[in-house]
Every structure is written in structure tokens, then in C-alpha cells.
A and B are shown apart, each in its own frame.
Chain A
């Protein structure tokens, strides 16, 4: 079994401040996971703001150097300082989708211009017909077509459509891996499911692996195969999405699940979070602990003396 992406003992430490009052922040600590090349999957990273999930994604994209550890993509090290040709090759394999489609597109330019520049770069051609065909193919994959998009500006489309265009752009070089950083949090509720269903069909029909970053447990449960839950830079629980979310073991995972607003008792006005649960979850912050494998295939961080 060959691996597509291998994240090995990756840590990232940011240093803030100058000579005086220097402060270090460990954004990611000892992250370990790998994706297989044969079985495309949706791998979800869950965590609140400041849990290091975006930093981890940036390191996988090669936008940030890990402080220690290494990230291998198809056996080759992801390196920010590799030559231009090597970077381009890497970028054609790993593509990002960003959170806010209204910010990803230049409001003053037609949508197809952004797609066109991506196509021009990765197909390395100036031939209009080739570029148009590539754009159309990518748009077809997300349920749009070049005819619908051509000549339109970002403000003329809904958030859901625009996010689809952003995904189409990422699909132009036919990457085996997409990194989607909170792709639905800025999209309206009624259109959200169309994006989530799209990610699902990318995996099932086009065999694209997706790293899906979110803080929404419900959509994570809905689409992902495996997931990791991060708290302040540490992976606290990792395993099969259904196994973990049906019955989370780490206190923080349990708190997250309990905080999901359920519609089962709509109108009853139940909102209380168990205070004990909150304390238990915050207790583990800052403790190293270690990940232990469980019989059902998940790994959980446990702490000495607990």
C-alpha cells in the first residue's frame, strides 16, 4: 500500500515578539497521520479556533515550514524552498479550497479569469481552446458549465455557486488531494449541503482525497471516513469518523459533541452544557499525555494519573 500523504511527528512553533518578552506558541505538536493513495477518503480535521488545524493545513500545502518532523507527499518531502518547477509540480497535485469564496475571487474580475490563470499555469499552454476545454471539464465536475459562468462577476452568483467555482478551479490540474479549509462556514445553510454533497461525490466518483477542515461535527459525521480532533495543537482523538463521533472518548471530543445544537428536541429550549464536562475538557489543556490505540481502531490521548 503506497501512501499519498504522510505527516510524521510534525510540530510548529511560532515565536512572537522581539528581543524582550519573547513568547512562543506551539501551534501544532507531534501530528502523525497518513493518507493512502489507493483508497480516496475524506479526512477531517476538527478543532476550535486556535487549535492548529489551519496551521497544519498550511504546512501540508507547503506554505509554512514545520519546526520539526516532516511531511511527505508521494514519498517526497514537501518543501517550501524547492525550486519553482518542483513547487509547480507539487501544486498541481495538492490544491486548496478556501473558506470564503467572496474573498477568494477578485470582485473586479470575471470568475473565469481566475480559472483561466490556473489553467494557463498548470497546463502550460496559451492555446485558448485547450484552456476553455479544461475549464469546462472542471466546471462540469462541480455541476456547472463554462457557458453559465462565462462573463459573470462574483457578485452575480450565490455563495454556494461561487464556492463550487472555487472547487472547480482547484480541480483544473486534476489533483489527487484537495485541502478544504472550512469550505462551508461562509455559505448559507440551504446551499451548504450542495457543497458537502459535492465533496462526497468528488471522493466517490473522481477518486479525489479531501482533507476537510471544519468545526462542524454534523457535516464531518455526514461525509468523512476518518477524522482527527485537535485541541490546542495536540491531536486528542483520531480514528474512524463514525466510531469516534458516535461515542467520543476524550473529554474534549465529548464536549464538542455535546455542544452541537441538536434539533431533536426543537423548541424545548435546552441549552445547558454540563459544567463538569467543560472543566474536564479544559483540564487536559497543556498536558502532554500520549496517544494510545484502542481495540476499535481509534487512538485517544490519555494522561498519567487519570
Chain B
């Protein structure tokens, strides 16, 4: 697979907070706290993190769906689209309208709640895609049918209601909606969480195929590390609103440099292996009142005094590999895995 090194998205020092002011009491939830990341063209970037880690808020900003009480406090989110660069964190709704669906699109979680249950699939396609595509009538229909064929969906689904389709087919329809305009950048938010193993693999394969075929970049969000292992080129781990580690998928799995990543990887059970799996105790921190220093320290087995006081900076630890941990040199894979040749130990 050839990867162009052209950058499509640059996120710099992004801070997005939920600011609420009820009855004179103001509350601030720092859902995205100082995230800097770049994504390249033609790449699948996986974002992992547990619920309430701020990953959905981060995605909302990336998708330019910033609605109060979520506010971008600091930083920029710059896309380099073919029709010119745009900073979606500070763009006007009219500017965002020019890139929505055509350049920037979104595969949503829970296909049943995305598709309108009382409209036929064809109608939904019209609502979504007719304007950005600028096609009408038969030309539009033809385009949609061709696109559906690529997703191995028969043209009949356009006349079906969502409840008449199986879960896997519905998810393919939402992928179809997101990709019909050939966007350059696709955000996929847990697209396979509700699916069975067999169907899940099909859907992942499909997203991967569409991505290679169209040359788009995909941001893939899920908490399931085994999905990242098979889909992503690079993986970024978000914990409590911060990016804690980022690197090529292989390195993240076989030579993690952050204790949290090491835990996520180690807790995956495998067929053919009944070794006792460690479980991470404790709960994710409350983002309205995050712990001092490194936010992972209350649950971290390696925590020392320094971790409780000072925030670790992002350090480069290998090619394309960054981590935010004071003790990254002491992080070891928790479960014995045989790393294939060519992986930096």
C-alpha cells in the first residue's frame, strides 16, 4: 500500500469544552484538552478510548458539528481539501456547507437512528445527497444505484423502509449515504458496534475497500482494539480528553509505550490462549474535575510522584510514534506476544 505523505487534516492544540451556566452556577467539562494531531491523505487513522474519554466530542469538532454547550476554546482544525483549505473550528455555517458531504462526511453509529423509519431509503438518499451532488431525476437515481451496487446492495433497497433491512444491510446503507458524494475525508463513529462478528467483518472490509478505491482518508473511532488491529494504519489513544499515545498499528500492539495502551492490548482475549487477563480497575476520571498531573495516574501501575504533579509532554519515541508518559521507557507489553520480525522493540 502506498501512502502519500500529504497532510489532509491538521489539528493544533485543540481545546473544546462544554461550558454550562445554569442558575448562576457555571460548569466546565474539558472534553478535548490540548490535542495535536495530523492525518494524511489515503490513510485510516484509528481513535480508541473508552466512553466518556472525550472521543465523541473530538469527533464532533472534526465533523464541524460544534453546537453549544460544546465550544472550541483554543486551537485550529485545518483541512486541506481540493477546493481549498478550511478551518472548521472557526468557519461560518455557509463555509461549512460547501464542504459537507462532498469533502467531509460522517458514518454514524446506530444505523436505526440515522435512517428515518417512516421514509423509504431512496427518499433519505435524496435528502442527503441531491444538493451536494447537484444531480436530478434519473441521473441522480443512476448514480445512487451504481454506488449501491458497489456496496453489494440491490437497487430494491431504495424502495424499502429501514425496518425491512437487516442490521448489516442498514449499516451498508449508511456507509452508502456517507460515501455517495466521494468525500475526501470520512469520519466513522463506531460503525460496527451493534453488529455480529460475521457481519462486522464484512462491513469493515467494505469500509476498507471503499477507502482504497476512492483514495479517501478515514478516521475510525471505536473502543474495540481488535477492530483497530485490522483496519487502521495508525492508532491514537485518547484518555480523559487527551491524546496519550499515537503510532503505527503494529508498534501500538507489539511495543506500546503508554501503560494505558499496554492495558488495552493486554486485556484482549484470544482464541487458543487462556492466560489470565488483567483487568484495569477503577473508572475513567470525571472530566469536570480531572486529576492533577497525568490523568491516568490513579489507575496506573507505574505511577510515581512526578506523575501526580506534572503533566507529561508528548515525546517522540520512534518513527511516527509519540507518547505522553513520564515513564514510557519502563512500559512493557503485559502479555507475552510474539512480535513478528521488523517491529521496533
Contacts and interface: CB of A to CB of B under 8 A. Distances in A.
Interface string A232-268: 0000000000100110000000011101111111111
A219 B269 contact: yes
B9 interface: no
B279 A188 contact: no
Interface string B187-229: 0000000001111111011001000000000000001111111
Interface string B266-291: 01111110101111110110000000
Given A160-B283, A262-B229, A266-B249, A256 B198 contact: yes
B271 A221 contact: yes
A190 B229 contact: no
Contacts of B148: none
A269 B271 contact: no
A84 to B, nearest CB: 37
Interface string B227-240: 11111110000000
A259 B200 contact: yes
Contacts of A160: 283
B277 A197 contact: yes
Contacts of A273: 198, 201-202, 205
A57 B226 CA distance: 28
A218 B208 contact: no
A36 B289 CA distance: 50
A161 interface: yes
A48 B194 CA distance: 11
Q: Which of A260, A263, A271 has the most CB of B within 10 A?
A: A263
Contacts of A37: none
B229 A266 contact: yes
Interface string A288-300: 0000000000000
A284 interface: no
Contacts of B52: 158
10 contacts: A160-B283, A188-B50, A196-B269, A218-B226, A219-B269, A221-B270, A261-B204, A263-B225, A263-B226, A263-B229
| A-B residue pairs, 5 tightest by C-beta | A267-B249, A194-B279, A267-B250, A266-B229, A266-B253
